[in-house]
Amino acid sequence: MKTLPDATDLEAENTDSATKPVKICMHVTDGAYDDYRVMREATALVEAGYDVTIVDIMNEVERPQKEDISDVHMSHVMYPELFIPTRFKPWYLAKAADMILRGSIRLVQTPTDIYHAHDVKGLPACYIAATLRRKPLVFDSHEIPLDDPNITRWRGLSKLAGKVLTSMMPRCTGVMSASPLYSREIMREFHYPDVMTLLNLPTYREVPPSNKLRERLGLGPEIRIALYQGNIQANRSLEQLVNAAPFLDPNIVIVMMGHATEATRIELEKLIAEKGVEDRVKMIPAVPYNELLSWTTSADLGLTIFKPGYTRSIRYCLPNKLFEYLMAGLPVLSSQLDAIAEVLKTYEVGDILPSLAPEDVGTAINAMLADSAKLERMRQNALKAARDEFHWEKEKLKLVAFYKKVVEKSKKSIGK
C-alpha cells in the first residue's frame, strides 16, 4: 500500500532547550492501545517533539503496568471490577468516584507539563490533577458530553453533571472535538468560546483491489456486498439491516464486520434466523486494523445506518468508518445524520436514506448497486476526497498547531 509522505513542518517549538521536550499526560478511562483516536494523537505529538504518556484504565491485568508503544509511554491503572456492569445507581456512582480517585492519583504521580483528558469520563481526574499541580488542561471530547442515555435517563444526575462540567470548562486551556457539529453544541451548551474540530481520519494509503470478503464468505464474483464495519453493538441500529434483507435484490448480501458485544451478537443472530435471511446477512469478526482497508475495498457499498434520534452524538457524528469507506473507494449509504449528510452531498460520495423503514433501506441499497455508472463516479469522488482532504497527515497539522497555542498560552499564564 502506498502512503503519502509524512507531513512536514511538524517540529514543535515546544521546549526551552532541545534536551527538554514538553511533557503531555493523556488520560482515557478505557484501554488506549486500541483506541485509534487516542493513539493517533499521541504518536503525532511524539513525532512533533513532545514527550507523551497515556494513563488509561484497563481490565487486562496480565499486561505490564508500564510499557512503551510507538514511543508513547503507557501507564495502565488495572481495574478489572470497573468493567463489571452496574445497574443500581448508587453503586454506579460509587464505581465512577473510585475510578476518578484512582485516575487522579496516577495522574498526579505522572511528571507532565500539560494534562489532556480524552472524553468526558477522563475529564474529572485530569481536572483534579491539573488544579492540584497548576498545569494547563486540554479537553478532547470524542462525543457531545453527557449525551449518553445512561446519564440522561437520570434527570437529577444529568442536571448536576451538566453544572459540574460547565464549571470545569473555563479551567481548560483548549478544547477539541471529533465533529464540527459536536464543537457547535459544546460551545452552545457549555459556554466555551472556541472548540477546535479534529476529525477521526485514517492515515492515507492507496488500497489495491481485493476480494477478501467474498473469499472469506465463499461468495461468487457476481455477489454485490453492502458493508457495515465497526462495533456491533446496541446503539448501531443493525437490526434495521436485518429487517431490510428480505427486500434486497438477488445477488446482494449485507456484511457486518467488527467487534460484537455478546448480547447484540445473540440478538442479531436470532433475528437473522427468524427472518430466514441467513444467506443475505453475514456477520464476521473484526480484522486487525492495519489490514482493515484491504477488506473494506472488497465491498461495493459502505453503510452508516444509525437512528438519528438515538442521541445527538449519533445524529452529529463523523465516525472513523465513514472516512475508511472513502479511502477504500466505497460509496456510502447513510441514514439522515447531519454531519455525514453534509460530507456525502459536498463531495458527491453517497446517498441519504429517506427513512429507516426496512423496505426503504432495501430499496436504497438495490438502487445504488444497480446504477453502475453512478456508483463508479461516486467511487472516484471518494478516492479523490480521501486523497485531497480526509487523511490524518493533513489533520494532524491542526493538532500540532493547537498544541503550539496551548504551550504559548501556558507560558503567558506563567509569566503573569
Helix (H) or strand (E) holding 394: helix 392-415
| Res 84 pLDDT > 70 | no
Q: Among candidates 323, 67, 115, 87, which has minimal Cα distance to 202?
A: 323
User: Residue 96's pLDDT band (boundaries 50, 70, 90)?
Assistant: confident
- Grid cell of 199 as nine digits: 476529525
Q: What is the rounded average pLDDT of the residues 124-132? A: 97
Question: Predicted confidence band at 10 (pLDDT cuts at 50, 70, 90)?
Answer: very low
Q: For the residues 385-399, what does the mean pLDDT come to? A: 97
Tell me what the pLDDT averaged over the chain comes to.
91
Q: Over 90: is that where the pLDDT of 4 sits?
A: no
Buried b (16+ CB within 10 A) or exposed e, 62-71: eeeeeeeeee
173: three-class secondary structure by DSSP: coil
User: Which pLDDT score is estimated for 156?
Assistant: 75
Q: Given a cut of 90, is residue 413 above it in pLDDT?
A: no
CA distance 67 to 124: 25
User: Which residue bears the cell 464543537?
Assistant: 183
In b/e form, how buried is each residue of 215-245, taking b as 16+ CB within 10 angstroms? eeeebeeeebbbbbbbbbeeebbbbbbbbbb
Domain boundaries, the chain: 23-200+392-415, 212-388
Per the CB < 8 A criterion, the answer to whether 329 and 259 are in contact is no
Mean pLDDT of 108-126: 96
Judged against a pLDDT cut of 60, whether residue 355 lies above it is answered with: yes
- How high is the pLDDT of residue 1? 47
303 pLDDT band, cuts 50/70/90, is very high
Q: What is the pLDDT of residues 255-299, one digit of tens each?
A: 999 999 999 999 999 999 999 999 999 999 999 999 999 999 999
pLDDT at 12: 44
The 10s digit of each residue's pLDDT in 141-162 is: 999 998 877 776 777 777 888 8
| pLDDT value at residue 11 | 43
Provide the pLDDT for residue 62: 78
Domains 23-200+392-415 and 212-388 share a fold: yes
pLDDT above 90 for 235: no
The CATH number assigned to the domain with range 212-388 reads 3.40.50.2000
pLDDT band at residue 15, thresholds of 50, 70 and 90?
Answer: very low
**pLDDT-derived band at 7, boundaries 50, 70, 90:** very low
pLDDT at 89: 56
Amino acid symbol at 381:
N
20, pLDDT greater than 50:
yes
Which of 16-20, 31-35, 195-199, 380-384 bottoms out in mean pLDDT, i.e. has the lowest?
16-20
pTM of the model: 0.90
Q: Look up the CATH architecture of domain 23-200+392-415.
A: 3-Layer(aba) Sandwich (3.40)
Average pLDDT over residues 5-11: 42
Q: Nearest-CA neighbor of 52 among 18, 15, 77, 27? A: 27
DSSP of 180-210: HHHHHHHHHHH--S-EEE----PPP-BPPP-
